[in-house]
Structure 1
Amino acid sequence: MNKAEVVTEIATKTGINKSDVQVVVESFFQVVQQAMVDGKSVHFKGFGKFFNKKRSKKIARNLTDNTAMVIDEHYVPTLKISKDFVNKVKGVVKA
């Protein structure tokens, strides 16, 4: 399912105009992205938590010319799914 399909689904279920739903969905993603850029985490109960995970400085190897390179400490965006959501997908808890 892509973003356009999500917008269509929400518009159908709520009766809200598709263009209004599109604006809300786009704004949602912008808010989540900006919060993560600012170093904040975003938590949705029953869904999951978006946060930045710290990766330590390490030495990697370029396999093409067999040289070592240093990868500095950095952060990667991460999503940790809630246990309730995982259990629903597994079929343990019926929705």
Structure 2
Amino acid sequence: MTKQDVIKQVSEETGLDPFTSRSVIESFFEVVKDALIDGEPIYIRTFGSFILKQRAQKVGRNISQNTAVTIPAQILPSFKPGAEFTDQVKAQPMLTKTKK
């Protein structure tokens, strides 16, 4: 599902015109990005949390040159689904996609 599909579905379910739905969804994305850039997590009850995760510095290998490479520590955005959301997804049968 693409962002355009989400906008269309929200527009149909809410009765809002697609332009308004697009504006609301784009604004939500901006709020999430701005909050995470400021280091503030977002908690949406029953859905999940948009949080920052810190990865520690580690040593990797450059196989082609057989050397050690230091990978610096990083802070990355992450989504952690809520328990209710996770349970709903787990309750669904596993869908298998067939290749065309």
Structure 2 length-normalised TM: 0.86
Matches within 5 A, 1:13-92: 13-91=13-91
Give the letter for the 2:13 counterpart: K
Q: Once the 2 structures are TM-superposed, how far is the Cα of residue 14 of structure 1 from its aligned partner?
A: 1.0
Sequence identity percentage: 35
Tell me the number of residue pairs that the alignment of Structure 1 and Structure 2 aligns.
Answer: 92
Q: Residues of 1 paired with 2:39 and 2:7: CA distance?
A: 28
Could you list the structure 1 runs, at least 4 aligned residues long, displaced by more than 2 angstroms after superposition.
Answer: none
Q: Once the 2 structures are TM-superposed, how far is the Cα of residue 2 of structure 1 from its aligned partner?
A: 1.1
Please list every run of 5 or more consecutive structure 1 residues that lacks an aligned counterpart in the other structure: none
Matches within 5 A, 1:3-18: 3-18=3-18
- Cα RMSD between the aligned structures? 1.2
Instruction: Give the match's secondary structure for 1:20.
Output: helix
Instruction: Give the match's secondary structure for 1:34.
Output: helix
